[in-house]
Amino acid sequence: MSRLIVGVTGASGSALALEVLRQLSDAAVETHLVVSRGAHASIRHELGETGLSLLEAAAARVHAPENLAAPIASGSFSAGGMIVVPCSMRSLAAIAHGLGDNLLTRAADVTLKEKRRLVVAPREAPLHEGHLDAMLRLARMGAVIAPPVPPFYTRPATIEAMIGEIAARLVNWAGIDPGEHMTRWGETPPPLR
């Protein structure tokens, strides 16, 4: 069975995190979830009072963000990589500079040092030079910088369809086949959904 770490930060995009977890579950991937303390308010605002419970229920294992002794804090933990979705600029900068000041940023740092796939979905606009500098730094270390940009050629008719397509791309960039969740260019365009 494959294993991936999923980090959720305080940026907007909790629905993307939930869909990523669901698609990884569909692909029989064992997920290890860590949610930053800053994410709690965003999750509650975007997914409702039970939002955190929905995320936790969709994951195989849940780790507290302050638990730096968790298995995912070590390079000896066998995982195929990590997806940080959504990724706040604060967390992105911490990862880019190797701060490891909480379990999420430590797990991302371990992912980079072990040369595993790290996919970050930064959620901010517009971007200033500091944001771009941190993204460039991460890209040079091997991370995949994947802002959640909708693939309009899939003709999503609902926000759920758009979230599903974006999540499928994040899963794909993490090295997991998202199966029918992803519409690929050149295939018959899907019906409006």
Q: What is the pLDDT of residue 153?
A: 87
Q: What is the pLDDT of residue 188?
A: 64
Note whether 123 and 86 are within 8 A (CB): yes
Note whether 181 and 167 are within 8 A (CB): yes
Task: Give me the residue spans of the domains in the chain.
Answer: 2-132+141-181
Note whether 11 and 4 are within 8 A (CB): no
Q: What is the pLDDT of residue 187?
A: 76
Pick one of 3.40.50.1950, 3.90.330.10, 1.20.1270.360, 3.40.50.1010 as the CATH number of 2-132+141-181: 3.40.50.1950
Q: What is the pLDDT of residue 176?
A: 97
Q: What is the pLDDT of residue 189?
A: 58
Total residue count of the chain as it appears in this document: 193
CA distance 143 to 111: 9
**Total Cβ atoms within 10 A of residue 59:** 22
How confident is the prediction along the chain (193 residues), in pLDDT tens digits per residue? 699 999 999 999 999 999 999 999 999 999 999 999 999 999 999 999 999 999 999 999 999 999 999 999 999 999 999 999 999 999 999 999 999 999 999 999 999 999 999 999 999 999 999 999 999 999 999 999 999 999 998 889 999 999 999 999 999 999 999 999 999 887 765 555 5
Q: Find the helix or strand (DSSP H, E) in which 62 lies.
A: strand 61-63
Closest CA to 55 of 10, 87, 8, 102: 8
Give me the helices (H) in the chain, please.
14-26, 39-47, 51-58, 89-96, 103-113, 129-140, 159-173
Q: What is the pLDDT of residue 130?
A: 96
